[in-house]
C-alpha cells in the first residue's frame, strides 16, 4: 500500500482555515399556538405555581414536555413529534394525575436506559418508573418517596460514587408566622439500587437544620431552612459532588447553605468561608463558566437583587452581578421576583447567555406592564437585556422555565410557565453562521445519565467547559441532550470528558451540527510510542491501554492521519488481547505506513490518531505528532 495515497494529496494546500466571522441575527418567536400545547396553570393562594420538565421519555431523540400543575388541574405530558409540535399523551402515559405539584425532574434512576420522573409536591411527591413502552409506573410507596414533605426542589447526583443517582430534596415551610417560619428538614435520599431510597441527610450533615433563635418561641431551637432551590455540582473540581441550597426567608430564618462533599459520605458546611451564606429570598440556582477560567460560576435568582458569584478556583465566590449587568433587581411596581433561571447559548457563539423567569408574588398587580422575563446575552464583560424586537417579553407571572432544542433545528428554545396564565413556548429563529456541538453522554462505569460529568469542547476558535447537572432551576428541568455553540467552526477538534466514575476520555473530529452519542469507555489509552518501521510497508506502534471496568475487556483499534481538520483513515491491526481490570497493558498495533512516509509526514506536520474501542461501544482517542 503506497503512503502517497495518504500524504501527497495534502502537498498542494494548507491544513485548515480559521473560522469566518459569524453573521448573526438573533430572534425568537412565540411558537405556542403552533406547538399544540394549550396549558393554563391554576394555583392555590400561595401563588408558588410549579415548573416544566423537558426530557426524552420515549427515546426517539427529541425533548418531550411535562408540565406540573396545582389547584385541581391535572399534570400534563406532551409527546414531541420531532418538529416542536406536541401531542397530549397524559392519559395514556399514566402521568395525567392531579396533585399539589411544585415541579418535576427527570433522570434514569435505575440505570435501565429510560428516563424516570420525579414529581415534587406538598405532601404528595411521587416517583414514576419509565416502563419503556410509553407508560409510567407509580413506584412511590416502595421507593420511600411517600415520606417526602413539602418538596419544592430536587437535584440528582451520585454523591457517594456507587454508580447510581441519589436525590436531594429541598423542603419548604412547616410552621410559624411570616416571616419567621420553620421549615421541614431537607432530605438526601441515597439510592439503594432497586428504586428504593434511604434518607441519610442527618447522618451526612445536609438536612438544613441549624441552631438559631426562634422568635416564635423566644428561645434558641434547632430550625430547618425553608428551601426553594437545590443543586449538586463540584465547585472545587475535586471529583466529588458538592451541594448548594438556596433558601427563602433567608434574612429571618436560615441563609443559603453550601456543603462540601468530604468524599466519605459526609458533607461539611462551608457557606461563610466560600462567600455563599447570603440571606436572601432565593428561588433558583444555576451554573456556567461565565468568565472562561475553567471553574463553574453560580447565578442565584431571588426576590430582589440576583447574584452572580464568580468562582476563584480556591474555594471562594466573588459577587459580580452588578458589574456584569445581571442584577434583575427592580421592575414595574417594586422589587422584581426572579424564579427559574438557566444558562443557554442562544446564538451558538460558545458563550453562556442567561434566561431569567420574572414574576411578582401575586398575580394581580396594579401596575402595567407586569415585570417581563428576560433573555440576557453574553457580550464580553457584561450581559445585555434583549429588547422585544428580539424576543417577546413574556409579561405573565413567571415561575418555572426550561430550555431545549424542541424543534430539532440546532438551537435552544424556551418554555415558560406562568402562574394562572398560559404557558408559552418561544422558538429560537436566530439566523447565524455559527454552529453547534450536539451530543449525549452515556455512562457505563457510573450512573448511566453521566450526571456530574465534566466536559471541555475545543474547536478551531472556541474553548468551553461545563458540568452536566440536573436540578437548580425553580421546579424545572432542562433537556438532557447537550448543546454547545462552537461559533463558525466546522468540527470539534477535541471533546474531553471526565466521567463521574473518575475515568477520562477524548473524542476528536466530531462534525458540527451532527448529533453524537458519547459512551463512557471501559478502556482508555494514555498514549503510544514512536512509529517503528517493519519492513517496506508497515510500522509498529506500542499503545498503552488501561482497563477501567470491573471485568476483562476485549478491544479493537482504529487509526487516522491528521493534518489540521482533515482526517485519513488507516487500517490498524492487532492480535486479540484481553485488558484486565485496573491493568495497564502495552499493545502492539500494526499500521500500513512505510518508513519513508514517516519522515515525510513529520516534515509536513502530520499527527497520528489511535482509537481503542471496547465491545460495549465506548471508545477513547489519542493524538500525537508523528515522531
How does DSSP assign 14-31, residue by residue? -S--PPPPP-EE--EEE-
Q: What Rg, from alpha-carbon coordinates, does the chain have?
A: 26
% the chain with pLDDT above 90:
76
Pairing of strands 470-471, 151-157: antiparallel
- Does residue 5 register a pLDDT over 60? no
HSE of 374, CA atoms in CB hemisphere, 13 A: 24
Residues 422 and 549 in one domain: no
Do 427 and 557 share a structural domain?
no
Cell numbers describing residue 419: 402562574
Would residue 332 be called left, alpha or beta, if left means φ above 0 and alpha means ψ between -120 and 50 degrees? beta
Contact 289, 464 (CB under 8 A): yes
Position 456 in a domain: no
Task: List, for residues 428-441, the tens digit of each pLDDT value.
Answer: 999 999 999 999 99
What pLDDT is stored for residue 17 in this prediction?
A: 29
Q: What are phi and psi of 434, to 5 degrees?
A: -65, 155
pLDDT recorded at residue 16:
28
| Residues 441, 500: Cα–Cα separation, whole Å | 11
Q: Which three cell numbers stand for residue 25?
A: 441575527
Rounded mean pLDDT of 117-135?
95
Non-local CB neighbours of 214 within 8 Å, separated by 6+ positions: 180, 182, 220, 221, 223
How crowded is residue 256: how many other Cβ atoms within 10 Å of its Cβ? 23
478 in a structural domain: no
Q: Give the domain-ending residue among 432, 448, 482.
A: 432
Local confidence band at 42 (pLDDT 50, 70, 90 cut-offs)? confident
Provide the CB-side half-sphere exposure for 194 (13 A, CA).
2
How far is it, in rounded angstroms, from Cα 169 to Cα 158? 14
Distance CA 447, CA 453 (A): 10
Secondary structure of 480-510 in HEC code, one letter for each residue = CCEEEECCCCCEECEEEEECCCCCEEEECCE
Q: Is the pLDDT of residue 366 over 60?
A: no
Cα(37)–Cα(35) distance, rounded to whole angstroms?
A: 5
Answer whether residue 18 shows pLDDT above 60. no
pLDDT band at 334 (very low <50, low <70, confident <90, very high): low
User: Are residues 89 and 216 part of one domain?
Assistant: yes
pLDDT of residue 12: 33
Strand partners, 53: 66, 477
Residue 555 scores a pLDDT above 80: yes
CA distance 356 to 339: 7
Residue found by looking up cell 407586569 in the block: 370
Indicate whether 50 and 162 sit together in one domain. yes
Closest CA to 300 of 472, 113, 502: 472
Q: Are residues 200 and 77 in the same domain?
A: yes
Residues 278 and 177 in one domain: yes
- Judge whether 510 and 490 are in contact, CB under 8 Å: no
| Confidence at residue 15, expressed as pLDDT on a 0 to 100 scale | 29
Inside any domain, residue 387: yes
**CA end-to-end distance (rounded Å), the chain:** 21
Of the candidates 338, 243, 224, the one whose C-alpha atom is nearest the C-alpha of residue 281 is 338
pLDDT of residue 44: 67
For residue 511, what are the contacts with CB-CB under 8 A and spacing of at least 6?
A: 490, 491, 492
Question: Residues 306, 413: one domain?
Answer: yes
Instruction: Tell me how far apart the alpha carbons of residues 277 and 283 are, in angstroms, rounded to a whole number.
Output: 15
C-alpha cell at 8: 501527497
User: 194 and 88 in one domain?
Assistant: yes
Domain final position from 404, 432, 460: 432
CATH number, domain with residue 126: 2.130.10.10
Cα–Cα distance measured from residue 461 to residue 350, given in angstroms and rounded to the nearest whole number: 10
Q: What's 598's domain CATH number?
A: 2.60.40.10
Locate cell 462551608: which residue? 270
Give dist(CA 478, CA 403) in Å, integer: 5
Question: d(Cα 349, Cα 565) in Å, to the nearest integer?
Answer: 20
Do 536 and 419 share a structural domain? no
Gap between the Cα atoms of 559 and 537, Å rounded: 16
479-506 tens-digit pLDDT: 988 999 999 999 999 999 999 999 999 9
CA 487/CA 463 separation, integer angstroms:
10
Q: Residue 10: inside a domain, yes or no?
A: no
Residue 287 contacts residue 233 (beta carbons within 8 Å): yes
Domain assignment of residue 592, given as a range: 522-627
Mean pLDDT confidence for 317-330: 93
Give the pTM.
Answer: 0.93
**Confidence check: pLDDT of 7 > 50:** no
CA distance 508 to 76: 40
Q: What's the confidence (pLDDT) of residue 3?
A: 36
**What's the grid cell of residue 532?**
517503528
Give the chain's mean pLDDT: 91
- The residue with greater pLDDT, 183 or 291, is 291
Q: Which of 20-29, 575-584, 604-613 has the lowest mean pLDDT?
A: 20-29
Query: Within this chain, do residues 415 and 527 fall inside the same structural domain, yes or no?
Result: no
Does residue 577 lie in a domain region?
A: yes
* pLDDT over 80 (residue 213): no
Within its chain, how far is the Cα of 511 from the centroid?
21
Q: How many domains does the chain have?
A: 2
Does residue 405 carry a pLDDT above 90? yes
* Nearest by Cα to 6 from 570, 591, 613, 588: 570
**What does the pLDDT read at residue 304?**
86
In a domain, 551, yes or no: yes
- Look at residues 432, 462, 487 and tell me which one is the last residue of a structural domain: 432
Is residue 574 a part of any domain in this protein? yes
Higher pLDDT, 408 or 175: 408
Is 154 domain-assigned?
yes
Query: What is residue 182's predicted lDDT score, i.e. its pLDDT?
Result: 80
Closest to 168 measured CA to CA, from 96, 227, 81: 227
Amino acid at each position: 500500500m503506497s503512503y502517497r495515497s495518504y500524504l501527497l494529496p495534502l502537498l498542494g494546500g494548507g491544513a485548515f482555515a480559521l473560522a469566518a466571522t459569524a453573521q448573526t441575527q438573533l430572534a425568537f418567536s412565540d411558537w405556542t399556538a403552533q406547538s399544540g400545547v394549550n396549558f393554563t396553570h391554576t394555583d392555590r393562594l400561595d401563588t408558588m405555581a410549579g415548573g416544566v420538565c423537558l426530557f426524552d421519555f420515549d427515546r426517539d431523540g427529541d425533548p418531550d414536555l411535562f408540565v406540573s400543575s396545582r389547584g385541581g388541574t391535572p399534570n400534563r405530558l406532551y409527546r414531541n413529534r420531532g418538529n416542536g409540535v406536541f401531542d397530549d399523551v397524559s392519559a395514556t402515559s399514566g402521568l395525567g394525575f392531579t396533585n399539589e405539584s411544585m415541579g418535576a425532574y427527570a433522570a434514569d434512576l435505575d440505570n435501565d436506559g429510560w428516563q424516570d420522573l420525579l414529581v415534587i409536591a406538598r405532601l404528595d411527591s411521587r416517583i414514576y418508573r419509565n416502563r419503556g413502552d410509553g407508560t409510567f409506573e407509580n413506584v412511590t410507596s416502595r421507593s420511600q418517596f411517600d415520606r417526602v414533605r413539602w418538596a419544592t426542589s430536587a437535584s440528582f447526583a451520585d454523591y457517594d460514587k456507587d454508580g447510581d443517582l441519589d436525590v436531594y430534596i429541598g423542603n419548604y415551610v412547616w410552621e410559624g408566622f411570616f416571616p419567621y417560619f420553620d421549615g421541614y428538614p431537607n432530605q438526601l435520599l441515597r439510592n439503594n439500587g432497586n428504586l428504593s431510597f434511604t434518607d441519610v441527610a442527618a447522618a451526612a450533615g445536609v438536612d438544613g437544620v441549624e441552631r438559631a433563635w426562634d422568635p416564635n418561641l423566644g428561645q434558641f431551637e434547632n430550625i430547618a431552612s425553608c428551601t426553594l432551590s437545590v443543586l449538586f455540582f463540584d465547585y472545587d473540581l475535586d471529583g466529588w459532588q458538592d451541594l448548594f441550597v438556596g433558601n427563602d426567608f433567608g434574612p429571618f430564618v436560615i441563609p443559603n447553605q453550601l456543603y462540601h462533599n468530604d468524599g466519605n459520605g459526609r458533607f461539611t458546611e462551608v457557606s461563610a468561608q466560600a462567600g455563599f451564606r447570603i440571606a436572601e429570598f432565593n428561588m433558583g440556582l444555576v451554573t456556567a463558566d461565565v468568565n472562561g477560567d475553567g471553574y463553574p460560576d453560580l447565578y442565584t435568582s431571588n426576590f430582589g437583587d440576583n447574584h452572580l458569584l464568580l468562582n476563584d478556583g480556591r474555594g471562594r465566590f466573588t459577587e459580580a452581578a452588578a458589574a456584569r449587568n445581571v442584577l434583575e433587581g427592580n421592575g414595574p411596581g417594586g422589587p422584581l421576583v426572579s424564579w427559574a433561571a438557566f444558562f443557554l447559548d442562544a446564538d451558538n457563539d460558545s458563550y453562556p447567555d442567561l434566561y431569567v423567569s420574572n414574576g411578582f408574588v401575586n398575580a394581580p398587580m396594579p401596575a402595567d406592564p407586569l415585570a417581563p422575563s428576560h433573555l440576557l446575552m453574553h457580550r464580553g464583560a457584561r450581559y445585555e437585556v434583549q429588547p422585544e424586537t428580539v424576543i417577546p417579553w413574556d409579561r405573565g407571572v413567571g415561575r418555572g422555565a426550561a430550555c431545549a432544542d424542541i424543534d430539532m433545528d440546532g438551537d435552544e428554545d424556551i418554555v415558560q410557565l406562568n402562574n394562572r396564565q398560559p404557558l408559552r413556548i418561544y422558538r429560537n429563529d436566530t439566523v447565524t453562521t455559527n454552529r453547534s456541538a450536539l451530543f449525549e453522554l452515556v455512562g457505563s462505569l457510573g450512573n448511566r445519565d453521566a450526571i456530574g460529568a465534566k466536559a471541555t469542547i475545543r474547536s478551531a476558535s472556541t474553548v468551553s467547559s461545563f458540568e452536566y447537572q440536573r436540578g437548580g432551576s425553580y421546579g424545572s428541568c432542562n433537556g438532557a441532550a447537550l448543546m454547545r455553540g462552537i461559533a463558525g467552526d466546522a468540527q470539534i477538534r477535541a471533546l474531553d470528558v471526565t466521567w463521574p466514575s473518575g475515568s477520562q476520555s477524548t473524542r476528536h473530529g466530531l462534525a458540527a451540527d451532527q448529533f453524537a452519542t458519547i459512551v463512557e469507555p471501559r478502556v482508555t489509552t494514555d498514549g503510544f510510542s514512536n512509529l517503528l518501521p517493519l519492513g517496506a510497508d508497515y510500522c509498529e506502534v506500542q499503545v498503552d491501554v488501561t482497563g477501567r471496568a470491573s471485568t476483562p475487556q476485549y478491544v479493537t483499534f482504529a487509526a487516522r492521519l491528521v493534518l489540521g481538520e482533515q482526517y485519513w483513515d488507516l487500517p490498524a491491526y492487532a492480535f486479540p488481547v484481553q485488558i484486565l481490570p485496573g491493568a495497564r497493558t502495552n499493545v502492539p498495533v500494526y499500521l500500513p505506513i512505510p518508513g519513508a512516509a514517516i519522515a515525510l509526514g513529520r516534515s509536513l506536520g502530520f499527527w497520528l490518531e489511535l482509537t481503542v474501542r471496547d465491545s460495549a461501544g465506548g471508545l477513547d482517542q489519542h493524538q500525537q505528532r508523528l515522531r
